[in-house]
Amino acid sequence: ENHNCFVEAAAAHSKLCPVLKDVLQIRQNVDTLELAHQLARSGNADAVLKVGILNGANRKLCGNHWFQSGARFAIDENLHRRSASMARASLLLNLDTEPRPRRPSQLADTVRLFGGTVVGEAEL
């Protein structure tokens, strides 16, 4: 099913790139924000450790349905419920609290509307 697609892809690629196993960690049934905090604080105090959270998000609505009563255990909703900054950003970027038809450029256009800058993938 779709929820396993990242794990399955990582397993397939680790056969082609064995060092992937040294840098990729997959954790189940842990508090995502707490784990990210612990990982970011671990190791050498002078070293910069970058930690990323992979979120299987809803492509139609940033934050998915964090403002509603459903999906209480979904990572996307819980991240937004626990972070006022993420909740505010989602409301602004969505310009709505419900999924609706959007143009392919909608997110970039909304970021620019609020004075933000959009950096293309090729520019990274």
Q: Which of 97, 96, 94, 98 lies closest to 111, judged by CA?
A: 94
The residue ranking higher by pLDDT, 110 or 69, is 110
For residue 67, pLDDT beyond 60: no
- Compute the Cα dihedral for 7, 69, 38, 36 and give only its sign: positive
pLDDT band at 100, cuts 50/70/90? confident
Extract the tokens encoding 40. 């970011």
For residue 75, pLDDT beyond 60: no
Mean pLDDT of the chain: 77
Stretch 51-75: mean pLDDT:
62
**CB proximity list for 36: less than 8 A, separation 6 or greater:** 51, 53
Q: pTM of the prediction?
A: 0.49
